Structure formats: structure tokens, C-alpha cells
Amino acid sequence: MIYWYSVIVQTPAHSPLAGLLTYQSEQRLEVGSFVRVPLGSRELMGVVWQKLDSAPEPMFSAQGKEVELKAITAGLGIQAVSTAWLKLVSFTANYYQRSLGEVALAALPPQLRTLDTLQVERRLKRQTERTKPVAATLQNSVNDEIAINSIALQAEQTLATAKISTENGPFLLFGATGSGKTEVYLQAALEALQTDPTAQVLMMVPEINLTPQLEDRVRERICPLYGDAAVVSLHSGMTNPQRLKSWLSAHMGTARVVLGTRMAIFASMPHLKLIVVDEEHDPSYKSQEGARYSARDLAVYRGKLEHAKVILGSATPSFESWHHSTPAADGDSASKGRYVRLTMAERIGGGVLPKVITVNMEHQPKKTVISPPLLNAIAERIAHGEQAMLFLNRRGFAPVLHCGDCGWKSECPHCSAYRVFHKIDRTLRCHHCGFTQRVPRACPACGNLDITTIGRGTEQLEENLADLLAHVKRPDGAPVRISRIDADTTKLKGALQQQLAQVHSGEVDVLVGTQMIAKGHDFRNITLVAAINPDGALFSSDFRAPERLFSLLMQAAGRAGRDASQGAASEMWVQTHHPQHPLYLALKQHDYAGFAAQQLKEREVAMMSPFGYSALVRAEARTQEAAQAFLTAASESAADLADSVPGFEHIIPLITLYPAVPMTIQRIANVERAQMLVESHSRKALQQFLSQWQSILQATKQKGMIRWAVDVDPLAI
């Protein structure tokens, strides 16, 4: 007996093959099973996508000879992925306009591709031997009760937990920083695991390395009940063998909790019952390469698909999630009220949110880095044995080096950007292409010896601060200790953990860094947080810039006063030239809801997300003209779809194609970049349009073009 199957194999991004190839087999195979198949002279891993009912149409070679259908080489001996997983992958490929083969293979651990049947068997055997079955005694329900209830929940936590337990969701857990959201996730996870002996929970975090505490907390609570093998991590910082191991244990159901970053949304979990998306507003949930998927949005989709509950949590939800969780009134847009909003306004232990203080920099001498009142406040904290945290969104010493005589600036020869001056190794480094040179002694254009810096980065801030605090002593009489955390100081593996440990242990008095320090950490002794120069985002052309700044400042404020004993006295300082800006006024009140309402109103008028839908097509070419010409040509051909595709006479009028424009950073590493915005107030129309437009984009030829990509629901425009 012969069977025919279409099999997903890896294909290039825009391949018209879509990654589905037909093979025959003498054995009956389950849809979703893993196989190895021949392709040309190679053998590839594939996933059985569909069983065909009859022999496919014969294919003929160029010489007119019938090509014999190749046979599947072997099965891989791992259980099949679920049909839900296949649906998730195909939805992602369709929605984000990529080929099925690319998305499916990227969603699987890379090492799986390289193993043959025997190797997979060995690995599985090793893994099952190591992960001893969870002893029945561990699952003793009496123990469970004790462990679950060992923490007395706060009233708001109890309410949230009860709603999650009884309603379907999806839930938006809107909880202030330090309100105990993690505890609610853990309760929901424990309940899911208890109710169903096979249940699995997916917990996603933006960046695992920034929140090692969360992993500890999850292990602490889950492992004593379900064994050490019950919790696995899945993120890009892992080696390929580690990833395969985690993936296999999730796939086989041994892992009951998978803790991971955005890629974990594709983890094969046959018994998925709960998905948690912590810090759901975080931009790192949106992939910026390959299929540009949003793991948060896919979480909601996957939850619906698999009847798993979904909890999105944040102190500063994305305005999209906020809107979807706003109770709907009559006549409101249909997307309102789709999520159940759970509010936890109070911090654990009654700690109050820090007092927000703005310093009007208009009243400070020009070039002031740290205003005197802020400096005094920092010195006072140190004298009391407390810690301060200052952040500035720029690393390096100075963003530009400049000659006052001839006007030379440290431009990167390969990018439309300046190279940043790094004093520590006296280099000029391009943060876009990496091009690095030693700092010139004199101006390369005119020979002037007196070249100066413009602006300020974290490296300089650290240096300034050391000078300004030179006279300040810690309570033990020792000089002040300053530590800087940014992408430069944390390049080495383990460096970040070590630096964070120093902050936690109190070795450090002042922590200086980029926004990476403002996220998620549970610092106990930080009582003052300061944003040194956050104004830039107020006047950005990107409509999401205010949302991001507000969220960053709220999150940063949340780092202060987490210990209730100091909570009342903690402060968040903002140095600004625009203290009356509505964003800062809202921040002073910790008024997320007010700020969100104001911003959403503006977006509604402008038909921007979540009221309108958009996609960006980005083109990269040897010249800017070529990049734009490609986009313009594809845009002009789009109108033809109205005549050539049935029904498109109604779709095309719903689509707005904007002119091609250079991207903000127009050139990176000598590649010119342009983009085109596509908008519609109908998501469905936009989707239908994009899927038809794909073939036009594929067919559009332009000399000098390098590559193009579609970004659906782009984060930055």
C-alpha cells in the first residue's frame, strides 16, 4: 500500500514553494509526525502536514519524462506535534506573510534538523532515564494544599485569582509594580497543574537574563511538588543541545512549566492549559527578524485555539491590551471588552509608589548633567545607606565627536549615523554596523587638535557622578561606589548577573545604566530613581514613543521603594525641559489610565492602532532610489488586483498605500533602506490584500535590490 503526504520542509523566506512538498511512503504516517526526506542531493527533516487522498498529478521533467515521486526516508521516532501546533504555525505564516516552511522550522529546535533517527532515539532514551517519573507522594494532594496556601493572598490577589479560576479570559492583569502579579501567575499555574495531572503551563517573560529571580521563584514553588524536571527554560541564550533538551521534555509532557522568551510561544506542549505573558507591553515580544510575529498576540490566539487560559500582566499594559480590556459600552468598537481586566492597585506590604519630582532644566545652567537638587538627594540617600539608580538611554561616553573649527562630526562612513565615542578604549564605534576606529588625535578634516564631544552617554554620566560625589561618604565612612550596567559592561557571560548581585548585596551605592536597568528587577534597597534626560521621546515621529516613554518611567519608578519600610520616602526624579508636558503630569499622579485614555483618543482620531491596522514593507538596496523604486512599482501594481482577483474591487478601496520613504536610519552598513506603510481600518481587508500582494512583491524586479520584508502590526513606524 502506498500513501501520499505533503511534508513541511525548510524553505527560503519568500519561496513560492511555501515549504510543502509531496512524498510517498509505504507506511501510514500520522499528521504532525517528524520524518526525514530527500530533497535534491540532500536529506532534510520535515513534518508531515497532510495526508493526500489520492496520488498527486504526475510531474514531468524538462525532457518530458515523468518524475517519480520520492519516498520518505524515515520517521524520526518522536511523537507527532499536535494539530493545534500545526494550526498555530500556519496561522503565523499566513498572518505575518512568511512561508510555512520557514515558520515551522524556525519554531523547532535547530538541533532537531541535524539528527538522524538513531540519534533521536538515543537522546530520548537518555532523557527519560534522567527524568525519573514524579513520585506519587510528591503529588499528594495534602502537600499541594499546604504549599499553595502557604502564602496568604492579599485581597486584590484573591479576587484576581478567583476570577482567573472561574472565567475564561483572556485576562489582563493590571497590577502596579510590586502588587504581587507573579504570585497570581503562580497560583493560576498551581491550580492548572493540580486540576489536571497532565496540564502544562507556559510562562513568558521579555528577557530571561534580566529577571533571574523569576526563574528561582517558579522553581521554588513548582519543583518541590512536581520534581526538578517539571520546570524547563526555553530562550535564545541557551546552547542548541540545551534547547533541544527543553523542547523535548515540553513535547513529551515531562515539563509541566515552560519558562521562556518570545520563541517559547511555539513550544510544543500537548497539554497546554495556561499561558502567562509577563510584562506584556514589552517590545521584545515582537520579533524583529524572520517572521515578525508578536508572541503576545500569538499567545491570545493560541489560548483560544487550545482552550488554554491566557493571562497578560503589566503595570503599564500596551494601549492595545488596555483598549481590549476596557468594558464595552453600547456602540463601542467591537474589540472593546474582549479581555477581562483584573486590577491590583496596591503594593504588597502597603508600600506606596514613589513620589515623582520633576526638575525644570530650563532653570538650570546650560549643560547641567545632574541638577543640584537631584545631586543633594542622591548624596542624602547614600549617607543613609540607601541606593540610587540613574538611567540615561545612551551608552558610550558621548554620542558624537565634533570639531568646532570646521564642523567635522564623527559620522560613520557606512551608515547614516554618528559613531559614538567610547572613552574607556578610546574608540569611535558605530552602534549600527559595528565599525570601530581609534579616536583621532586631531580633526581628520582640518587637523584641529581641539575636538570635543556633544551630548552624553552612560560612560560619561558615571564619570561625572564620581566627580560630583567624591566628597560623599557611605555610613561606614567608605567612599561612594558606583556601578554601570549597559550593553558594554554586560557583554561577557555572567557579567550582568554578577553586577546585579553586587547591587542586591549593597556593595553598590549608585547604579548607572541604560533602560535595561529599569526593567523588572526586584531591588530592595533602591529608594531613589532618576531619569537624566528622557525628553527625546516626547517629540518623536513614532506614534508609540510616548507610550514607551511613559511605560519606561512608570516601570523605573516601580524599582524604587519596593521594601515597604522605606516605601513612603522613595522618589522618582525626572530632569526635563518640559515639566508641564501631559506625559509628566500623568506620571506625577501615577495615572496610567488617564494617560492611556488621552493617547487612545488621539489614536482613534488618527485611525491608528488599535483603531486601524497597518503593515510596513521594508526594502533594502544598493541605492536609495532602487529601494524606493521597488516599493513604488509594487505599490502601482497593487491597483491591478482590483481587476484580476475576484472580490478585490471591494478590498482595494479599503487599503491605503503611502508613498515610499527613506527609513529613519536610512543607511546601515552601506545598505540603503526605505519603507512603505500600508493601512486599513479593516484587519481582514488588510490581511486579504497582503496575501495577494505577496506574489506581486515576489515578482517585482528592481536592479540593485537586496531584500524586502513585510512587517505586520509593526511596533515602530
Nearer to Zn ion, 277 or 627 (CB): 627
CB of 317 to ligand ADP, least distance (A): 13
432 binding Zn ion? (CB under 5 A): yes
User: Segment near ligand ADP (CB under 6 A), from 172-180, 191-199, 373-381, 411-419?
Assistant: 172-180
CB of 159 to ligand ADP, least distance (A): 12
User: Segment near ligand ADP (CB under 6 A), from 174-182, 331-339, 473-481, 612-620?
Assistant: 174-182
CB of 344 to ligand ADP, least distance (A): 7
181 binding ligand ADP? (CB under 6 A): yes
By three-state DSSP, how is residue 161 classified? helix
Q: Which of residues 19, 169, 170, 180 is near ligand ADP by CB under 6 A?
A: 180
151 binding ligand ADP? (CB under 6 A): yes
Contacting ligand ADP within 57-116 (CB under 6 A) = none
Contacting Zn ion within 433-452 (CB under 5 A) = 433, 435, 443, 445-446, 448
User: Segment near ligand ADP (CB under 6 A), from 96-104, 146-154, 590-598, 643-651?
Assistant: 146-154
Size of the site for ligand ADP (CB under 6 A): 15
Nearer to ligand ADP, 202 or 420 (CB): 202
Q: Which of residues 10, 11, 82, 154 is near ligand ADP by CB under 6 A?
A: 154
C-alpha 48/C-alpha 200 separation (Å) is 24
What is the separation of C-alpha 65 from the centre of its chain, rounded to a whole number of angstroms? 51
C-alpha 231/C-alpha 145 separation (Å) is 20
Q: Which of residues 160, 403, 496, 715 is near Zn ion by CB under 5 A?
A: 403
Question: How do beta strands 171-175 and 309-314 pair?
Answer: parallel
N residues, the chain? 717
Q: Which of residues 89, 184, 430, 508 is near Zn ion by CB under 5 A?
A: 430
Q: Which residues contact 37 (CB under 8 A, 6 or more apart)?
A: 7, 9, 21, 23, 43, 44, 45, 46, 70, 72, 73
Nearer to Zn ion, 435 or 611 (CB): 435
Instruction: Give the bridge partners for 387, in sequence order.
Output: 526
CB of 278 to ligand ADP, least distance (A): 7
Instruction: Give the bridge partners for 469, in sequence order.
Output: none
CB of 709 to Zn ion, least distance (A): 21
C-alpha 478/C-alpha 475 separation (Å) is 7
What secondary structure letter does DSSP report for 77? S
Question: Could you write out the DSSP letters of every residue in 33-49?
Answer: -EEEEEETTEEEEEEEE
Contacting ligand ADP within 372-401 (CB under 6 A) = none
User: Segment near ligand ADP (CB under 6 A), from 7-15, 123-131, 179-187, 404-412?
Assistant: 179-187
Find which of Zn ion, ligand ADP, none residue 522 binds, CB within 5 to 8 Å per kind. Answer: ligand ADP
User: Segment near ligand ADP (CB under 6 A), from 176-184, 202-210, 371-379, 451-459?
Assistant: 176-184
Per DSSP (E only), the strands in 371-459 are 387-391, 400-403, 420-422, 427-429, 436-438, 451-454
C-alpha 480/C-alpha 385 separation (Å) is 10
C-alpha 535/C-alpha 364 separation (Å) is 15
177 binding ligand ADP? (CB under 6 A): yes
Find which of ligand ADP, Zn ion, none residue 139 binds, CB within 5 to 8 Å per kind. Answer: none
522 binding ligand ADP? (CB under 6 A): yes
C-alpha 244/C-alpha 126 separation (Å) is 13
Q: Which of residues 55, 406, 568, 661 is near Zn ion by CB under 5 A?
A: 406
Continuous segment of H or E residues that includes residue 66: strand 66-67
CB of 173 to ligand ADP, least distance (A): 9
CB of 334 to ligand ADP, least distance (A): 31
Q: Which of residues 216, 332, 405, 625 is near Zn ion by CB under 5 A?
A: 405
Q: Which of residues 176, 415, 511, 627 is near Zn ion by CB under 5 A?
A: 415
The C-alpha cell at 196 is: 489536571
Q: Is 593 exposed, middle or buried (0-12, 13-18, 19+ CB in 10 A)?
A: middle
Question: Could you write out the DSSP letters of every residue in 99-153?
Answer: -HHHHHHHTS-GGGGG--HHHHHHHHHHHHHHSPPPPGGGG-HHHHHHHHHTS--
Find which of ligand ADP, Zn ion, none residue 3 binds, CB within 5 to 8 Å per kind. Answer: none
CB of 206 to ligand ADP, least distance (A): 13
Dihedrals φ, ψ of 298, to 5°?
A: -65, -30
Q: Please choose, from the candidates 696, 559, 568, the residue with its C-alpha nearest in 3D space to the C-alpha of residue 641.
A: 696
Query: What would you measure as the largest C-alpha separation in the chain, in angstroms?
Result: 90
C-alpha 590/C-alpha 525 separation (Å) is 21
Degrees (nearest 5) of the Cα angle 157, 338, 609? Answer: 110
CB of 428 to Zn ion, least distance (A): 10
Dihedrals φ, ψ of 654, to 5°?
A: -85, -5
Contacting ligand ADP within 556-585 (CB under 6 A) = none
Find which of ligand ADP, Zn ion, none residue 24 binds, CB within 5 to 8 Å per kind. Answer: none
Contacting ligand ADP within 337-356 (CB under 6 A) = 348
Q: What is the dihedral of CA 363, 369, 373, 375, to 10 degrees?
A: -170
Nearer to ligand ADP, 19 or 175 (CB): 175
Q: Which of residues 408, 543, 611, 658 is near Zn ion by CB under 5 A?
A: 408
Positions touching Zn ion (CB under 5 A) are: 403, 405-406, 408, 412, 414-415, 430, 432-433, 435, 443, 445-446, 448
Positions touching ligand ADP (CB under 6 A) are: 151-154, 157, 175, 177-183, 348, 522
